[in-house]
């Protein structure tokens, strides 16, 4: 497959995250509005690129008060930093999949991250569009991006964990 451009289909894709809550459990959430494009060359991964833009205020954890707090200056400060962006700087074969290195900008801070990605498969939809599926995961420390708010717990530990696990499920349409 030569280099081909694919547009992310947000209605069939997801940007999800998980974080520890009160040390004893995990809370899951997602960003519901995002867009992006992938240029992918299976034979020459180094020619591949990924660019994604996420609306920070589209965060959703299914708890209105928590979502409001996450949008506030204590966390994402969506009024000042309305977008999260990822732009790849390198794509390479890694094991059964790919390592996608790129710059993640979150809360006004840009840091490199590495996504562990795999191609799940492709095919034509009922309307004749060619589609390709990807999955990617990574983890990051939220404090590296200036998301420092927390609250100590009486029994020890803190309310919100520092490690954020990110999972991307992407279905893209050939441009």
pLDDT at 9: 94
Report whether pLDDT(89) > 90: yes
| Angle (nearest 5°) at CA 126 between 121 and 127 | 110
What is the average pLDDT value for the chain, to the nearest integer? Answer: 87
Domains of the chain with CATH codes: 4-174 (2.40.128.110)
Report field, pTM of the whole predicted structure over 0.85: yes
pLDDT digits (tens, 9 = 90+) for 133-171: 999 999 988 788 877 655 554 665 445 566 788 999 999
Look at residue 136 and give its three-state secondary structure: strand
Distance CA 75, CA 56 (A): 10
């Amino acid at each position: 497959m030569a280099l081909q451009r694919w547009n992310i289909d947000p209605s069939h894709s997801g940007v999800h995250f998980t974080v520890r809550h009160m040390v004893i459990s995990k809370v899951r959430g997602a960003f519901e509005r995002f867009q992006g494009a992938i240029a992918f060359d299976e034979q020459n991964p180094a020619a591949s690129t990924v660019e994604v833009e996420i609306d920070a205020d589209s965060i959703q954890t299914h708890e209105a008060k928590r979502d409001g707090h996450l949008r506030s200056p204590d966390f994402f400060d969506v009024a000042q930093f309305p977008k999260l962006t990822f732009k790849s700087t390198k794509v390479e074969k890694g094991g059964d999949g790919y390592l996608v290195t790129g710059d993640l900008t979150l809360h006004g801070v840009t840091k490199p991250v590495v996504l562990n990605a795999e191609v799940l498969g492709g095919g034509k939809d009922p309307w004749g569009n060619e589609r390709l599926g990807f999955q990617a995961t990574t983890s990051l420390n939220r404090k590296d991006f200036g998301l420092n708010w927390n609250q100590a717990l009486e029994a020890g530990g803190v309310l919100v964990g520092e490690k954020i696990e990110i999972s991307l499920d992407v279905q893209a349409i050939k441009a």
